[in-house]
Amino acid sequence: MSQSNALRTTLSSLSYSAEILNYTQNSESDTSFTSTLNGSTTLFVVGDDLTGLKPVLNPGSICGGILLSKLQQPGWRVFAFGETGKLFTSGFSDNLTSDIYAAYRGKMTFATGLNPDANLVYQSTLFDDSDLYENRMCSALWAMFKGRLRFGMYGNATSVYNFRSSDSSVTSSNFPLLIFDASESTLCDSSVYRATSSIAPRQVIAINNLRISASNVRTSSFSFSQRKFVESTTSIKDEDIVEPEKGQLSLSIFPNPAGIDFTVSVKDEKTTISRVEIFSITGERVFTSKESFLDEGVKSLSVNSSAWAAGTYLMRAYTPKGILFGKVVIN
């Protein structure tokens, strides 16, 4: 109640009208409760224990039907705190805290959420309790397997996640996103091994063609429709960056993979290179061409990598027509 009262006080100070609804099993037949819920424009759901809210997931739940209908309405918003966010996904793993070896002993259960169109599993509070890391780390993948859902996402209790149905995307406020994508998966299998003290096979699964999307940019949005990170929900073109498919320009790196020496050039006889920068996979700059050598530009540039460790390196080449990017593998 303390969270609810604090929220109502804050909303009232901003001239919003707010009511506190305490959901119980009896709320399903309470016309005043269901009428208020149906007339809401924004809903705040508080509390980390899903036990009391699970009845809304039942197929015959009146409140669940109202929430399902509201989720389809443009402009309706729901703010879910902690574990309650799971209710508004397509499905989630439950019974994670009854046993620190719940996943190993086959004790996790699967619950269908209120938003079947999202095709998403959401596991919140990943880092809250070290004793439950194993359960939480496998919970999203296992729920994807059980519910045959395409996307799985891990969250952190200190972050705010903004899910937008308008463009099918999610943005994190201060914790980088970690998303599993099984859109291209064609095979999946689960364990049949029974551990000591288990009540069912351990809940470990295998999925082929699983794609993992991770970002260290906290404000990046992930587009579920495009299956990739986007810097903005609005398409913005940087005129300084050449798009190879449109500008027909690309870097030629030979040989690649390379030994000690390799050559960089542009696949266009009329384009010269004015500067080249090369970075390690961790972002450290390992090479910058000398400006005095390239004032007027050159057709090709030889690079010696004898001081570099083996691995993948990213390249940025400046030309009069824009910036080109490439990748070289050093053996």
Question: Hey, what are 56's tokens?
Answer: 């809304």
| 313, 327 contact by CB (below 8 A) | yes
**pLDDT at 228 exceeding the cut of 50:** yes
User: If DSSP codes are grouped into helix, strand and coil, which group holds residue 313?
Assistant: strand
Q: Are residues 135 and 53 in the same domain?
A: yes
What's the pLDDT tens digit per position in 71-92?
Answer: 888 889 998 887 888 889 899 8
CA atoms lying within 13 Å on the CB side of residue 276: 29
Percent of the chain with pLDDT over 70: 85
Residue 237 counted as domain residue: no
- 50 Cβ neighbours under 8 A, 6+ residues apart: 83, 84, 86, 87, 94
pLDDT band at 237 (very low <50, low <70, confident <90, very high): very low
pLDDT band at 63 (very low <50, low <70, confident <90, very high): very high
3: enclosing H helix or E strand: helix 2-13
First vs last Cα of the chain: how many Å apart?
61
Residue 119 counted as domain residue: yes
**pLDDT at 10 exceeding the cut of 60:** yes
Q: Identify the domain boundary among 230, 258, 276.
A: 230
What's the pLDDT tens digit per position in 255-282?
Answer: 888 888 998 887 766 777 888 889 988 7
Q: What is the mean pLDDT of residues 3-8?
A: 84
Q: Determine if residue 248 is left, alpha or beta; phi over 0 gives left, psi from -120 to 50 gives alpha, anything else beta.
A: left
pLDDT score, position 323? 82
**pLDDT at 291 exceeding the cut of 60:** no
Q: Are residues 61 and 191 in the same domain?
A: yes
**pLDDT at 247 exceeding the cut of 80:** no
Mean pLDDT of the chain: 81
Q: Are residues 137 and 280 in the same domain?
A: no
pLDDT score, position 30? 94
How many domains, the chain?
Answer: 2
Q: Identify the domain boundary among 167, 201, 230.
A: 230
Q: Does pTM top 0.85 for this prediction?
A: no
Q: Are residues 276 and 218 in the same domain?
A: no
Residue 194 counted as domain residue: yes
Instruction: Name the more confident of 14 and 97.
Output: 14
Phi/psi at 114 (5° precision):
-90, -5
pLDDT band at 241 (very low <50, low <70, confident <90, very high): very low
Domain that holds residue 282: 244-330
CATH number of residue 296's parent domain: 2.60.40.3080
**pLDDT at 309 exceeding the cut of 80:** yes
Residue 262 counted as domain residue: yes
pLDDT band at 126 (very low <50, low <70, confident <90, very high): low
What's the pLDDT tens digit per position in 134-193?
Answer: 667 778 888 899 899 999 988 776 778 888 887 888 988 777 788 999 999 998 888 878
**pLDDT at 295 exceeding the cut of 60:** no
CATH number of residue 122's parent domain: 3.40.50.880
pLDDT score, position 311? 87
A 10 A CB-CB count for 107 gives 19
User: If DSSP codes are grouped into helix, strand and coil, which group holds residue 113?
Assistant: coil
pLDDT score, position 47? 73
Q: Identify the domain boundary among 230, 260, 277.
A: 230
Q: What span, in angstroms and rounded, lies between the C-alpha atoms of 28 and 251?
A: 64
